[in-house]
């Protein structure tokens, strides 16, 4: 019988302890704390994310039922719903944001050599946002509509591994394009985004910083064609043009040339217009890059279905941001686990297994592997043989 650590404790061992403590000290997270430390708070919230707990009372009841197992799982403080609620409300959410960035850097290093369907040497990112609905009666600070509250989750994912590398949580009324003012731009990288991010002044910032963008062009774009290139229409391409903006404002905001590519999507019977500042890649590659933008939509769908970011354990701004950042940390942690153990399972399958085995004493790889490895001790028994040869 395996007598090592519990699955939950083995999972938490993948967390860099030194960097975690540095984030806590940076914002004085354990200042004047007696029993319930920042690590206890993170472990409790991680348990809630992994096992789909519905409320603070649900978390408290389930953890207290484990009794002595909690110590061996890594918990040191007493679990109480009031203590957890106060910690989520008062402890600076930037502790978890900084720690999530530590995990993100580690995950991006692990997935740096992975492909994403397009033969591209440069880094490629997809940018989008999703709205998280909130009850206005419980979250009055998040008024979005007359009878509705919401926050927005702006996310930039690295297409190599679908790792979120930039996240910004804003009010639901914040326009998507404003996040470009805070986006860290990497020279030589490609950024895919939809029509909601068309602001030629901000897009020209990518050109000044020697980065490339791929977005959808609006049909009423005021421009004139300076050059046309021959395309292979059997691939779905319809045109590949160099254009110059001629609008009174847009021509000043973006004075350089742009590339406009028309593509026919036969699968959905629609015509698409792409706009980019890259003139080196083939036109078909640009169209394929924009298709990869859908990965950020799949990330939003996955995290909403598999983690707790649609129902919150606290009503304050700090509690909401704390829960979102810890949810992101769990997503990245599972991605790190999958890569380091070279697992064949998907992230959803790994999360489902972890949800039912947190307090089992089973080797992590054995619990998550697709191959069944029988315990050699189970074959040994005290049953006497009836016949001997």
Answer whether CATH 3.30.1370 is correct for domain 194-292: yes
For residue range 156-204, list pLDDT tens digits in order: 999 999 999 999 999 999 999 999 999 999 999 999 999 999 999 999 9
For residue range 316-331, list pLDDT tens digits in order: 999 999 999 999 999 9
Question: How many C-beta neighbours within 10 Å does residue 354 have?
Answer: 22
pLDDT band at residue 378, thresholds of 50, 70 and 90?
Answer: very low
Task: Output the pLDDT for position 310.
Answer: 86
**Terminal-to-terminal C-alpha distance of the chain:** 30
Question: How many C-beta neighbours within 10 Å does residue 64 have?
Answer: 12
Residue 141 has pLDDT above 70, yes or no: yes
Task: Output the pLDDT for position 379.
Answer: 47
For residue range 247-302, list pLDDT tens digits in order: 999 999 999 999 999 999 988 899 999 999 999 999 999 999 999 999 999 999 99
What does each C-alpha distance from 32 to 38, 77, 89, 99, 309 come to in angstroms? 12, 14, 16, 21, 29
Q: Where are the domains of the chain?
A: 7-95+315-369, 194-292
Task: Output the pLDDT for position 371.
Answer: 58
Q: Does residue 276 contact residue 282 with C-beta atoms inside 8 Å?
A: no
Q: Which residue has the higher pLDDT, 3 or 224?
A: 224
User: What are the beta bridge partners of residue 150?
Assistant: 133
Task: Output the pLDDT for position 388.
Answer: 54
Task: Output the pLDDT for position 313.
Answer: 94
Comparing CA positions, the residue from 148, 159, 68, 151 lying closest to residue 120 is 159
Comparing CA positions, the residue from 67, 39, 79, 80 lying closest to residue 359 is 67
Round the average pLDDT of the chain to a whole number and report it: 91
Q: Which two tokens stand for residue 146?
A: 């007359």
Q: Which residue has the higher pLDDT, 385 or 101?
A: 101
Q: How far apart are CA 127 and CA 156, in angstroms?
A: 4
């Amino acid at each position: 019988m395996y007598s090592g650590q519990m699955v939950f404790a083995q999972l938490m061992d993948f967390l860099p302890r030194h960097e975690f403590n540095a984030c806590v000290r940076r914002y004085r997270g354990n200042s004047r704390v007696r029993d319930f430390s920042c690590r206890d708070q993170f472990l409790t919230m991680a348990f809630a994310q992994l096992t789909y707990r519905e409320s603070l009372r649900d978390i408290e009841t389930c953890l207290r039922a484990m009794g002595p197992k909690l110590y061996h799982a890594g918990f040191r403080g007493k679990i109480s719903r009031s203590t957890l609620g106060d910690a989520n409300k008062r402890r600076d959410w930037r502790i978890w944001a900084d720690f999530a960035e530590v995990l993100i850097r580690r995950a991006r290093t692990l997935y740096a050599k992975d492909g994403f369907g397009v033969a591209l040497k440069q880094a490629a990112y997809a940018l989008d946002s999703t709205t998280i609905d909130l009850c206005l009666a419980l979250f009055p600070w998040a008024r979005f509509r007359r009878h509705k509250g919401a926050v927005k989750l702006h996310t930039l994912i690295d297409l190599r591994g679908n790792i979120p590398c930039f996240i910004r949580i804003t009010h639901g009324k914040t326009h998507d394009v404003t996040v470009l003012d805070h986006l860290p731009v990497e020279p030589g990288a490609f950024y895919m985004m939809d029509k909601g991010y068309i602001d030629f002044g901000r897009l020209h910032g990518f050109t000044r910083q020697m980065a490339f963008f791929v977005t959808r062009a609006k049909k009423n774009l005021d421009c004139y064609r300076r050059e046309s290139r021959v395309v292979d229409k059997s691939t779905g391409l319809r045109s590949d043009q160099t254009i110059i903006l001629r609008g009174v404002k847009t021509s000043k905001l973006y004075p350089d040339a742009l590339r406009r590519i028309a593509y026919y999507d036969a699968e959905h019977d629609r015509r698409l217009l792409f706009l980019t500042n890259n003139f080196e890649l083939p036109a078909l590659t640009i169209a394929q890059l924009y298709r990869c933008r859908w990965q950020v939509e799949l990330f939003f769908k996955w995290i909403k279905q598999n983690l707790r970011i649609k129902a919150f354990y606290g009503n304050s701004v700090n509690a909401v941001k704390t829960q979102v950042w810890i949810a992101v940390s769990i997503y990245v942690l599972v991605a790190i686990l999958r890569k380091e153990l070279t697992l064949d399972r998907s992230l959803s399958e790994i999360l489902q297994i972890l949800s039912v085995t947190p307090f089992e004493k089973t080797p992590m790889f054995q619990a998550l592997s697709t191959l069944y490895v029988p315990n050699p001790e189970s074959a040994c028994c005290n049953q006497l043989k009836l016949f001997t040869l």
